[in-house]
Amino acid sequence: MANLVIDNVKKRYGETEILKGINISIKAGEFLILVGPSGCGKSTLMNSIAGLEDVTEGRILIADKDVTYTSPKDRDIAMVFQSYALYPNMTVEQNISFGLEMRKVPKAERDVEVQRVAELLQISHLLDRKPAQLSGGQRQRVAMGRALARRPQLYLFDEPLSNLDAKLRVEMRTEIKKLHKKLGTTIVYVTHDQIEAMTLADRIAVMKDGQVQQLGTPQEIYDNPANLFVAGFMGSPAMNFIPTKVVEQDGVPMLELATSTTVALPFPKPEALKDYVGKTILLGLRPEMITEPQPHKEGQPFVTTTDVEVEVTEPMGADTMILTRVNDAEINCRSNPMYPADAGSIIKMMFDTSKAVAFDKETGRRLDL
């Protein structure tokens, strides 16, 4: 296992800059997820770590060794590709042992290693098959087996689950997490699926436009997004952004919320809003912080109950999403399915602003960090 340091890495194709100075460093055994919308540079960064693409500037260190100009095969890296990239002419066994063969591992040792990996991934019965004879989930396992067989210092996963159907994706996600716990390997994992990012990562790097927007643990990123983009990207359904006017009550900045009535919501860090009194900011509030009135929360600070008009409800089984409108913005609320909420009716909802965040309306900058 090895640590990985990405030191101010830049990548340019002619005039366009794909990576604009990436700085990430992870400890040995850590599970790092690179997440971001398509075109954000996450795959380019991944290929740069693997050595499949050259970087224009900066350094990449694996196990404290500078590998910036080392060829892919000498970096001791294994990669799982989105398309699995299994060699179509070889059996599963040959696929898994190809990397070992290329590194001149004797046949007897290769066989032992193939057996070990096959048992670990429960694909022993598939060893004689060709990739074309496997299902999507089986191919996925073989692709992982091929990576595991070499016991490299660093594993790279490039959207490995995006070709699987929804159910299998969840299963394989858990498998990967178990595998990481069991083997304690260092993993860099690219995905555009923020749920995968949340569930798998020790740390997440949210990327956009060739820059790391935020690097932190899943909970940090969820609770404390660095800017409007991160806040909107992570979480499903997404965080509500409510344009709100900052008003001063008894010298304390509060947030004005207009539904059928108008109330003022308290904010955990009111001092951060001092300069914005009289102006409009974006209030960020996760759907689960807007619920039906819950008796145990009654009377707590930062909890406000007010009337809202229900536009649409979306029952999801465990919860029901209620779509409503405040300050002329559509917002999602997460309520108990038992709570009566018919479309068009006016109901009471509880706004918990203890974890609310605030953003500048123009720049998307976080105001209360």
Partner 1 sequence: MSNLNSTSKTAVGRKTSGLDKVLRVALYTVLIVVAAFYLMPFIVMLITSLKDVEEIRTGTLLSLPASLHFDSWSKAWSSACTGSSCGGISPYFMNSFQIVLPAVAISTLVGAINGYVISLWKFRGSDFFFAAMLVGCFIPFQVILLPMAQTLGWLGIANTTSGLVFVHVVYGVAFTTLFFRNFYQSIPGELVKAARLDGAGFFTIFYRIILPVSTPIIVVTVIWQFTQIWNDFLFGVAFSGFDTQPVTVALNNLVNTSFGGKEYNVDMAAAIIAALPTLAVYVFAGKYFVRGLTAGAVKG
A 10 A CB-CB count for 279 gives 12
Environment class of 91 (CB within 10 Å of its CB; exposed 0-12, middle 13-18, buried 19+): middle
Looking at the Cβ atoms of 27 and 73, the one nearer to partner 1 is 73
CB of 254 to partner 1, least distance (A): 54
Site string for partner 1, 16-55 (x = CB under 8 A): -------------------------------x--x-x---
In the shown chain, the binding pattern of residues 58 to 97 toward partner 1, with x for contact by CB under 8 A and - for none, equals --------------xx---xxx-xxx-xxxxxx-------
- Reading the block at residue 246, the tokens are 């900052």
Kindly identify the residues of this chain, within the stretch 149-178, that bind partner 1 according to CB under 8 A: 150
Candidate segments 131-139, 176-184, 240-248, 257-265, binder of partner 1 by CB under 8 A: 131-139
Instruction: Give the C-alpha separation, 357 to 369, whole Å.
Output: 9
Give the one residue of 132, 166, 318, 338 binding partner 1; rule: CB under 8 A: 132
Whole-angstrom distance, CA of residue 305 vs CA of residue 315: 22
Per CB under 8 A, which of residues 174..203 are in contact with partner 1? none
Between 90 and 329, whose beta carbon lies closer to partner 1?
A: 90
CA distance 303 to 326: 16
Q: Judged by CB under 8 A, how many residues of this single chain contact partner 1?
A: 28
Helix (H, G, I), strand (E, B) or coil at 226: coil
Sign of CA dihedral 32, 35, 38, 40: negative
Cβ pair 90, 101 in contact under 8 A: no
Q: How far is CA 177 from CA 46, 182, 204, 234, in A?
A: 20, 9, 15, 20
CB of 79 to partner 1, least distance (A): 5
Is 43 or 335 the residue whose CB approaches partner 1 more closely? 43
Residue 139 or 334 having the CB closest to partner 1: 139
d(CA 93, CA 124): 9
- The minimum distance between CB 31 and partner 1, in angstroms, equals 20
Contact positions with partner 1 (CB under 8 A) in 194-253: none
Q: How far is the CB of 58 from partner 1 (least distance, A)?
A: 21
Is 152 in contact with 144 (CB distance < 8 Å)? no
Q: Does 99 bind partner 1 (CB under 8 A)?
A: yes
Residue type (1 letter), 320: T
Summary count for the chain: helices (H), strands (E)? 8, 20
Q: Smallest distance from the beta carbon of 131 to partner 1, in angstroms?
A: 4
Residue of 322, 346, 30 lying closest to 202 (CA atoms): 30
Q: Does 346 bind partner 1 (CB under 8 A)?
A: no
For position 14 contacting partner 1 by CB under 8 A, the verdict is no
Q: Are 353 and 304 in contact (CB under 8 A)?
A: yes
Among 12, 20, 130, 192, binds partner 1 (CB under 8 A): 130
Q: Which residues contact 13 (CB under 8 A, 6 or more apart)?
A: none
When binding is defined by CB under 8 A, the residue of 139, 141, 180, 286 that contacts partner 1 is 139
Q: Considering beta carbons, is residue 110 or 334 the nearer one to partner 1?
A: 110
Tell which one of 66, 102, 181, 345 touches partner 1 (CB under 8 A).
Answer: 102
- The residues of the shown chain that bind partner 1, judged by CB under 8 A, are 47, 50, 52, 72-73, 77-79, 81-83, 85-90, 98-99, 102-103, 130-132, 134, 139, 146, 150
